[in-house]
Structure 1
Amino acid sequence: MSSPLSTVREHLKNGDKFTLFDENKVSTDDIVAAKTVSFSDSADNGLSLDESTEFTIEEKPVVLRVILHCWLHKDSSAAEYLADCQKLHLTNISFLQRNDLINWLTGESETSQYIGASEKTDASSQPSQKGDVSGKNDQSAPRSTTTSSGEATNIETEDPVLFKTLQNERVLLDHNSSLRGSKPIDFGYLIKDAELKLVHSLKSSSRSKSGKVSKGPVSRGTSSSSVLRKDPIILIPSATSSMITLGNIKEFLEHSKYINPRDVTVTKEDDLVTIEKKFDNISRPLRFLVVNNTRMFTKPEYWDRVVAVFTTGHTWQFANYQWNTPQDLFQHCNGYYFHFNGEDVPQHVQQWNVQRIALDKHQRFKDVEVVRFFWTNLEKSLIARGYH
């Protein structure tokens, strides 16, 4: 039997509409006053909104009411969703968890890292249900299946051999599903860890024994391996006067073409932009999350993943940062100041530990060289942090 969360997902994947009902079984638009949800016009057989689901936040199950409230705000910005959660006193699902949940509910993703064990085992329990129908239920009940034409046939009378086979059916697991589970995991990073911990230390030891001075263990950077497996983050200014915005940064960094922000058509305020990049000296392609605010930074690990900060030269940009002075910030993160050729760089920016990058104001073919310089500079920093 599927869980309420799985039932809701199947309906939402199919585009089914749902109706909320209050305690008097009257339809309502108030998610707080509602008691049940139904995917038909009737309140009968509705799902309780106070029932716990397999979706967890900090290992605590979330009720169905919070799931549907998040779904109702799937097209809202992070600020709008957070404001409504505070107004209604409902649990706020963090930015990354919210994206993960929406992708899972729409069917864009078949798995979610925040779904508890009971949901993950739900799919694997389905074959056993088939076995129950064949052999574990009432032996006197008629056994039926569905042919390719959709007509039900009695297995026991029409195909006794198949009936006996189904009675002894078992779910078989291969070594991949047993060892890896339901999610494919790339263990390639362990090769690099082994090389850093074992091979390099053995080489250093060998050089020491041969009379050469060992220079100590190889630096792995300041980030932990768990942080290195997650998408690095680029912070850009939220000011409308900035040369680089969420509207033009993807075209600039992925396709090496700078577009004036005033010429970009923005239909809605996006919370983030993702950029894919394959480096020459890093084994796997990296996906960068580009954001212009820190509202979703609900855990310290998000700051550990910040690898670059774009600045307009205004210190108010750093007011809500973990390191709110340029001196501290650019000791922890790479800083970049973009400007046009011929424009004066402010004196205080020249004193900051930032890379100043100049673009030509009119000749767009030169953008390729500028973007290549940026990625080369950032690649060195990524390798120093431990990305290999």
Structure 2
Amino acid sequence: MDAVDQDPLLLLRQSIASGSSIIPTTSPDDTSSSSAPEANLAQATHLQFTHPRRVSIPIDAPTRFISNDSPVDLRSIYFAWLNREVAIPEYNASATKLNDELAGASTVHKFAFVERLDLITWLEGASEESEYIKPLAGDKDSSAVAAAASAALKGSAAPTSAQAKSGRGTLDPRLAQIYNGERPMGDRNTVLRGIKPTDFSHVRKLAATIMTKKPLPSSSSTAPAPSQSLALNPKHAQRRPDPIILLSPSASSLLRMSNVKSFLEGGRYVPPDSSSTATMLHITRVMKDIDPSRPMRFILVEGPEQFKPEYWNRVVAVFTTGQSWQFKNYKWSSATELFKHVLGIYVGWRGDQPPDAIKSFGKRIVTSQVDKWSGSDASRWRDREVVEGVWKAIEGNMRAKGWKRDAAPVAI
């Protein structure tokens, strides 16, 4: 088997896509046609995959997912996938319980909320790249790895040259013999590189540093320019990080985790669902004045409890109801100081006056009003206009702070 067939991350992703069994087991035997008995994660020594072929991988095997410069083991990856729908406090509590059962023999890695979201998105197949996952060893061209993984996910092998020419799955043996005797024509890759492939990816990195426009230094200040990129990972210096939007956790807020996606992404307001337990989600939006060629992914959370210090540079908006306790654990706990750095957004009912606290927070608060909920969404045609106004304010603030096509501000 090659590296693609044996890679734990790709095997897990392919098994999820195909809906095939993933079995924790205490047996390394992968030749048996029957399924191995399932074991507890604390006792399992191997993880058995049944797609595209039956294979067992040691459960403590390191993977290509890198956290804090160290590879994360397969058990931690699989445990995070099993707990993908639970809130972060429940996930951390379950991880602590599993670590107690392991009794020091091994330790389950607890993912930060951005790492966990990135991992789950990649495993589900919603994203073809991850800033935390290294390419396969010996294959610097990530597109080749993606192509191999994509072919495996679809469950189809690459066609032979004869099959490609005929456009059919089977071919007459005589015709196949003729096709296989043809001399292949050279393409631009073989003409430029010869018979030995040459990796020119380093040229792109060198060109990026030369072609990036740098602002002229100010004579009155020695502070770094706001257009300098904030790299999430030193090995992905040109990757633009995902901006973050903070919601109000107040029960009186019109927008909560259960209905904010419908509002900001679908342009329609529905009442929040009090039974929702989600603590983070992501939405996509094309910001035409920043990057018209690809959608930008936004991460939405209700609180900064899992924030690292550098995450604050990625916060582009804070939804608030005017209650100052919301900012207790923020980097800037004072509302007036907070909204000097971050755009504030208040969403209330049309016809109602905003709270006096909103007015006292300063001028960097965008006030929006939606029609009161009447029990039906048939008359919600004005919601989209309100949503577009909110996005226009967010995009204008992002441009002012230094967000660009491939870079984020180094400070806000």
Fold equivalence (TM over 0.5): yes
CA deviation after TM superposition for structure 1 residue 303, in Å: 0.8
Distance 1:289 1:164 in 2: 52
For residue 48 of structure 2, the aligned residue among 22, 38, 61 is: 38
For 1:114 and 1:8, the matched residues in 2 are separated by 16
Out of 131, 134, 138, the residue aligned to residue 113 of structure 1 is: 131
Matched residue, 1:65: 75
SS in 2 for 1:272: strand
Correspondent of 2:258 among 247, 257, 279: 247
Q: Is the 8 A contact 1:78 1:271 kept in 2?
A: no
1:271 to 280, 288, 300: 280
Partner residue, 2:329: 320
How much does 1:120 deviate?
6.8
1:21–1:345 CA distance, 2 compared to 1 (3 A)? same
Please name the residue that 1:382 is paired with. 398
Counterpart pick for 1:21 among 16, 22, 25:
25
Render the CA deviation track for 1:78-119: whole Å, top value 9, x for unaligned.
333222122223101223323333343344444433223445
Alpha-carbon distance between aligned partners in 2 of 1:255 and 1:188, rounded to the nearest angstrom? 36
Structure 1 residues 360 and 17: alpha-carbon distance in aligned structure 2, compared to 1, 3 A threshold:
closer
1:180 Cα deviation after fit: 4.5
Relative to structure 1, the CA distance from residue 259 to residue 85 in structure 2 (aligned partners, 3 Å threshold; closer, same or farther) is same
Is residue 92 from structure 1 mapped to residue 126 from structure 2 by the alignment? no
Secondary structure of residue in 1 paired with 2:345: strand
Query: Who wins on radius of gyration, i.e. which is larger?
Result: 1
Change (3 A) 1:265 1:190: farther
> How far is 1:242 from its partner?
0.6
For residues 351 and 375 of structure 1, do their structure 2 counterparts lie closer, same or farther at Cα, with a shift above 3 Å needed?
A: same
One-letter identity of the residue aligned with 2:403:
Y
Report the CA distance between 1:17 and its aligned residue: 0.3
**Segment of structure 1 superposing worse, 70-79 or 231-240:** 70-79
The answer to whether the Cα contact below 8 Å between 2:345 and 2:367 also exists between their aligned partners in 1 is yes
Partner-residue secondary structure (3-state), 1:307: strand
List aligned pairs for 1:200-215, cutoff 5 A: none
Post-superposition Cα deviations, 1:34-68, rounded to whole Å, max 9, x if no partner, equal 1112235xxx9632112222222122112221122
Q: TM-score, normalised by structure 1?
A: 0.69
Q: Which residue is 1:206 aligned to?
A: none
Q: Cα RMSD (Å) of the superposition?
A: 4.8
Distance 2:305 2:92 in 1: 10
Structure 1 position 300 matched with structure 2 position 309: yes
Secondary structure of the corresponding residue to residue 241 of structure 2: coil
Question: Is the aligned partner of 1:235 residue 2:260?
Answer: no
Q: CA deviation at 1:367?
A: 3.8
> Structure 2 CA distance, aligned partners of 1:76 and 1:64?
20
Is contact 1:253-1:275 (8 Å) kept? Answer: no
Gaps of 5+ in 2: 30-35, 100-107, 148-160, 232-238, 373-378, 405-412
Look up the match of 1:132: none
- Post-superposition shift, 1:22? 3.0
Alpha-carbon displacement from aligned partner over 1:194-213 (angstroms, at most 9, x marks no partner): 1x526xx8xxxxxxxxxxxx
Q: Give the superposition deviation at 1:28.
A: 4.2
Q: 1:114 to 1:373 in 2, by over 3 A?
A: closer
- CA separation of 1:161 and 1:333: change in aligned 2, threshold 3 A: closer
Cα pair 1:18 1:37 within 8 Å, conserved: yes
Specify the alignment match of 1:81 in structure 2: 91
Query: Post-superposition shift, 1:305?
Result: 0.5
Q: Deviations over 1:276-317 (max 9, x none)?
A: 1434x43435432222222442x2221100011111122221
Out of 268, 283, 289, which is 1:257 matched to? 268
The amino acid of 1:370's aligned partner reads V
Indicate how the Cα distance of structure 1 residues 309 and 98 shifts in structure 2: closer, same or farther if over 3 A, else same: same
1:241 positional shift: 1.8
Report the CA distance shift for 1:342/1:120 in structure 2 as closer, same or farther (over 3 A): farther
Q: How far apart, in 1, do the equivalents of 2:341 and 2:192 lie?
A: 46
Query: d(CA) in 2 for partners of 1:268 and 1:120?
Result: 42
Give the structure 1 partner of residue 103 of structure 2: none
Tell me the alpha carbon deviations over residues 224-270 of structure 1, each in whole angstroms, 9 at most, x when there is no partner: 31369222211111223211222332333345433333xx6977636
| Aligned with residue 290 of structure 2, among 260, 271, 282 | 282
2:157 counterpart residue number: none
- The question of whether the paired residues in 2 share the 8 Å contact of 1:22 and 1:34 is answered with yes
Of the candidates 330, 334, 338, which is equivalent to residue 343 of structure 2?
334
Matched, 1:343 2:359: no
Distance 1:190 1:365 in 2: 48
2:158 alignment counterpart: none
Q: Partner of 2:338: helix, strand, or coil? A: helix
TM-score by length of 2: 0.66
Structure 1: distance between partners of 2:335 and 2:385: 27
Contact persistence 1:313–1:346 (CA under 8 A): yes
Shift in Å, 1:322: 1.9
Distance 2:305 2:224 in 1: 29
Aligned residues: 344
Distance in 2 between residues matched to 1:81 and 1:240, nearest whole Å: 23
- Look up the equivalent residue of 1:313 and give its one-letter code: G
Query: 2:61 & 2:385 partners in 1: Cα distance?
Result: 56
1:340-380 CA-to-partner distances (Å, cap 9, x unmatched) read 34434443332212425141544855445433443333333
Aligned partners of 2:16 and 2:325: how far apart in 1? 42
Q: Report whether the alignment pairs 1:370 with 2:386.
A: yes
Q: 1:375 to 1:159 in 2, by over 3 A?
A: closer
Distance in 1 (CA, whole Å) between partners of 2:314 and 2:44 is 40
